[in-house]
A and B are shown apart, each in its own frame.
Chain A
Amino acid sequence: MSSLLVAAIGIIIFILGYRFYSKFVAEKIYQLDPNYVTPAHQYKDGVDFVPTNKYVVWGHHFTSVAGAAPILGPAIAVYWGWLPAFLWVVLGTVFAAGVHDFGTLVLSVRNKGQSIGTLAHRLIGKKAKLLFLFIILILVLMINAVFAWVISNLFISYPASVIPVFIQIPLAIWIGYAVYKGKTKMLLPSIIALVVMYGVAILSSNIDFLQIDVVSYFGGEGAAGLFGMGAVSSAFLIWIVILMVYVYIASTLPVWKLLQPRDYINSHQLVVGMAILYLGLLFTNPEVTAPAASAASDVSWFPLLFITVACGAISGFHGLVSSGTSSKQLNKETDARFVGYFGAVGEGALALVSILAVITLFPSAGDFTAAYSSFAQANATGLGNFIEGASQLANGLAIPPGIATTIVSIIVVSFAATTLDTSVRLMRYIIAELGVEYKIPALSRMHVATSIAVILSAVLVLLPEGSKGFGSGGYLLWPLFGTSNQLLAGISLLLISIWLKRQGRNFLVTLIPMVFLLIMTLLAMFNQVLFQWSWFGSDANMLLFVLGAVIFVFAVWIIITAISTLTKNDIRSPE
C-alpha cells in the first residue's frame, strides 16, 4: 500500500474533524461567544495576559506541546501493525485530543485564565487539587526518567549527535543574552545557531574523532566498564549522570537564559523536521511494508495500544499548556477552536508521520516482524526505528544517509532535552507546592526541591534493568508514562464535563472520551500490575508493581470523584 495514500487519508480525516466536528463542538457545546471579554483583555498586564493574534498563539501552543513523546509512542505502537496505531492516532486526535485541548482552553478562558489545578480545586474541592498534584508529580517523574533514558540511548546509538546537541547550549545562552540585552531580534541568531548545529552534524557524521562514542572508549560492547559493569551499562550510567547534572543547572536558571532560546532553535527544528518528513514522503512515496495488523503478539493490543500511543493521540500535558499560558493570550473566545483543536491536529500530524516513517523503513513484512519481535523489543528499539525511517525519507530529498540519521537524532534529542528541562522545572514547582500544602517549608527551597526532583528521576531511570543491563531499562516505564498522562487528560475531561453539566449543556462530548480513557487506563494497569509485575506475574518487578499500583489507585479515585460529582445535583456554577 502506498504511504502517501495512508497519509492522505489521515490528513483528510483531520481536516474533516476540524472543519465539522470542532465547529459543532464550538457552536453547540462550548458555545463560544465572539463578544466575550477574554482574560487577555480583562486582566491585560503586558506580562501574562496579552491579547495575541490567533496564529501566533497557535504557533506557540503547538511548539510547546509537540515534542519527542508523540514520535516515540506511535513508533512503539506499530508493534501491533500499522492499522491499529493509525486508527487510534487519527480518531483519538479528532474525538478525544481535540475536544480535550480545546475544552481546557475554553474552561480556563471562562474562569479568569486559571490553570487546571486551580480549577480542580474550585470545581471539585481541595482533595481534587491534591490528587491532581500527585498525578502530575508521577507524570513528570516518568517524563524525566523516560527522556533521560531516551537521550542516553540515542547518544550511545548515534554518537555523532553528541557534539551538535551540546553545541546548542552555548549557542542558546549567547542568543538569550543578545536578545535580553535588546541588541537583536531572535529570528536571525536562532537560524544561525541551527545552521551551525547542522554544519557540525555534517562534520561529526564524517569525522570519527568528533563522535563521542562512550561504549567504544571502554573497548566495545563486550568490554568491561566502570565498577565491574559492562561497557554499555557504564555508558548509560555516565550519560544519565551528565544529563542529571545538566538538568539541575538548566532547570534552576532563569528561563530566558537557556530554556527559551533553546525553544526558538527547537521551533525551527520542528518545522525543518516535519517539512523533511512530509516532503520526503511526497517525493519518494515509499511502500508500506509493515503488516496492517500483526498476529504474532506476546502482549495483547487491547488495552495497551491506547496507553502506548500516549501523546500521539491524547495527552493530559496539553491541558497544562492550554490553561497555563494559551488561555491568557486569547484575543477572542472564538479563537480557542483554532488554537486548541488545531493544535491537537498538529500533534496528530506529527504522530502520523512518525508511524509512516517506521512502517516504510523495512524492505519486507518479515523484516518488520523480526525487528518488532516482542513488545519489550518494540519499546527498546521503536525510537531507533523512527530515526532510521525518517532518515530514509530524508534520503529522498538527496540528504546523505549518515548525515540524515545524525540530524534526525539531533532533532529528537533536542525535543527530549527541552521536555526534560521543563519537566524537572515543573517537578520542582510541584514539590514546592506540596511542601506548602503539607507545611514542610524546606521543600519550597529551590535547591532542595530540585535536588529531590533530580535524584528521584535518576534513581527511577537507573533501577529497571533492560536487555543491555543496568540503566538500559528506561523504556519499561513508557506504559506507566502513557497511563499517567491519560489519567491527567481524564481529570481535565472530567472538569470540562462538570462545567458543561453545571451550564446545563450536553456533556457527552467530553464524558465519552473520559470514560474510554479511564477504562483503558484501569484495564491496562490491572493487567500489567497483576499479571506481569506482581510477585507471581510473568516478569516480576517490584518498582513497576508499586508505581503501577499507585497509578491504579489514582485512576479509581478519579472515577469515584467523577461519579460523585457528576451525580450530585447542585446548581453551583463557577462562572
Chain B
Amino acid sequence: MTLRFASLAAAAVLMAAGPAMADLVVPHLSYRTGPYAPNGTQYADGFNDYFTLLNERDGGIGGQKILTPECETAYNTEKGVECYEATKGDAALIYNPMSTGITYQLIPKAGADQKVLYTPGYGRTSAKNGKVFEWVFNAPANYWDGASVAVKHMLEQEGGDVNGKKIALVYHNSAYGKEPIRTLQELGEKHGFELMEVPVDPPGQEQKSQWLQIRREKPDYVILYGWGVMNQAAIQEAANIRFPMDHMIGIWWSGSEVDVQPAGAGADGYKSLTFNGVGTDYPFYDDLKTHVIDAGKASQGGQYVGSAVYSRGVYAALIIGEAIRTAQELAGSPEIDAAQLRDGFEALNITEERMAELGLPDFGQPIQLSCENHGGAGMARLQQWDADEQKWSLITDFMEPDAEVLAPLIEEDSAAYAQEAGITPRCG
C-alpha cells in the first residue's frame, strides 16, 4: 500500500513537470517492442527523421519547431489509450497510432476531444467519408482501395478477364484482416471470380493447413492481409508449396523487407501493394544525410533509412507536415490548434510539383482532400521483390480503385456508424 502511494506521488510529480510547452506537438504513438516491433521500429524511425529534418534544416514549419514526444504502445490498445490520455493535454494536434485496434479506440475519443486522427493506409476504412468522421483522415489509401487495386492488377495480368478464376484471401483473423472481405465479395460478383477465405489466427507461425488447402484448391491468385510473423510464415509457406510468387499480392502491410527476407530466394517475385516509393534514390535523402544522419540525429542511428516501412513513416510525416503548413496559411499565423489543423487537412492539396519540391518526386500520388473526402483518390501501385538485389522495385504506375463498388460500401458503413453514434452528417 505504501509502495503504491509512493509511486503514485512520484508519478504525479512527473506528470506535473511534463514536457516543455512546444509550438507544434505531434505525439508519436509508436511500438518498438512486442510482436510487431520489427515493423513498428522502422515506421517510427521514418516518422521521426522527417520531422527532425524539418526542424534542423528549416527550423520547423513556418518557423515553429515540431515536437514528436514518443510513447510506446507495444501495439496494445490499453497502452495506446494510456499514451493518448498522457499526451492529449499538451496542445497535441494530431495522432497517428499505426494500429487499427488503437484507431478504433481513438475514433470516438478524438472526436470528443477535438484532436485530428490520421491513419494512412490503416484504421477504419469508412472514415474516408468526412461528412460522418469529422476528425479522422485516412488519405492516401485504405484497405478497400488496396483490395480493389489488387484485383485491378489481376485483371491487367489476365487481359481484362478474371471470370471463373479463384482468388484466395489469406488474412490476419482480426479487425484489420477482415476489412477487405466485403469489398472482395462485391468485386467477385462484378468480375465473376470466386473468393476463397483463409483466416489465420494471430500470431500465425504455423500455417501448414492453410497452405495445404491452397495447394489443393490451386487458386489463381493469393491476396495476403497479414501482419508481423504471419507475413514471414505465409511467404515462406507459399514458397514451400511453390506457389507462383508473382501471383501472390500482399497489402502494403505485408510488403516490407523483413517480411520477405527470411524466405530468402524463395520470395523472389513476390508482389505487394504500396502507396509510397522505396529506396533512397530521391533528392530528399541527400538533405536527410547532411542534416540528420551525418549530424548523428537520426532516430536509432538511421539503420533502416530507405526501407519500405521507413519510407511509409516518412510519407505519413510528410502529409502531416503539409497539412500543418496549409493550416498555417489558412489561419494566417504559425500557431495553430487541432481544429485549424483539421481545416488544413480538408484544404490539403499536394500536387506532383509539390512532391518534387520536397525532394520526393513520384514518391506518392497527388492528394487533394475536402470536407467530404478525407481519403484522397485511394490509388496504389505494385512493387515486386528482387531477392538477388535484396530490394523492392516499383512495377506499375498508380492505379485507381473501383469507386463504383467502393463508394456505396463506404456510404453504407459510415451511415451505420453515424446512426450508432448519433452523428448528423456535416459539410452542408
Bound pair (A, B): no
Please list the residues of chain B having a beta carbon within 8 angstroms of any beta carbon in chain A.
none
Please list the residues of chain A having a beta carbon within 8 angstroms of any beta carbon in chain B.
none
